[in-house]
Structure 1
Amino acid sequence: MPIVLRLYEFYRVLHDAVQKFPKSEKYSLGQALQNTTLILLRSIIIATRSDKITRKGTLSASNADLDILKLLIRLALDTKSLDQKKYLLLETMLQEIGRMLGGWLRSLGN
């Protein structure tokens, strides 16, 4: 599933970035970023194996997790834990994941 591959790649880039966070942020903000990404990846995988009714709820929750992830990435930039270049790369990846997730939700209908 392409969205799973994009999230996997996002986590790899994020993991490398978190390793360079200041120690004061690595084990708080960095850990929150990594945990939220893994929760999102897990819920997307669960959605691929769910029936249509369950899938819609799971994807809606995933969409909320994605919004939290975007906020945390922005917070990492604002606290100078993340440089501008890495922020732009991660944000671009999240936007692509968001488009894929939104398309999947729309395909399920109301």
Structure 2
Amino acid sequence: MYQYIKLFPKKDRYSLGQNIENTTLEIFEYFFQITHLSGQEKLFLLQKTSNKLDILKILIRLAKDVQAN
């Protein structure tokens, strides 16, 4: 992801690119936490992860639409 964001124009790199990077890191953190949970806590965090993935998809589409690459 970092290699992709590095190619963004400067005006998009520090806003849209940073949002994409932060959201990706949050998703990785959730995946790590999920491996240590069970039951309802795991289901709750899986739902949060799914929501973050949806947000990441939107951010990536937005980057494509504004031709940040």
TM-score by length of 2: 0.96
Per the alignment, residue 67 of structure 2 pairs with 80
Distance 2:38 2:46 in 1: 12
Structure 2: distance between partners of 1:67 and 1:53? 21
Higher relative CO (Cα under 8 Å, sequence separation at least 6) belongs to 2
1:30 aligns with 2:30: no
Shift of 1:52: 1.8
TM-superposed deviation, 1:44: 1.1
Find runs of 4+ consecutive structure 1 residues off by over 6 angstroms. Answer: none
**Which residue number in structure 1 is paired with residue 47 of structure 2?**
60
Count matched residues.
Answer: 69
Counterpart residue identity of residue 23, structure 1: K
Q: Structure 1-normalised TM-score?
A: 0.61
Between the aligned partners of 2:48 and 2:31, the Cα distance in structure 1 is 10
Q: Using the alignment, how far apart are the partners of 2:36 and 2:52 within structure 1? A: 19
Q: Which letter does structure 1 place at the counterpart of 2:17?
A: G
Matches within 5 A, 1:1-110: 14-82=1-69
Deviations 1:54-90 (A, max 9, x none): 00000000000000000000000001002xxxxxxxx
Q: Structure 2: which amino acid aligns with 1:70? A: K
Structure 1: runs of 5+ lacking an equivalent: 1-13, 83-110
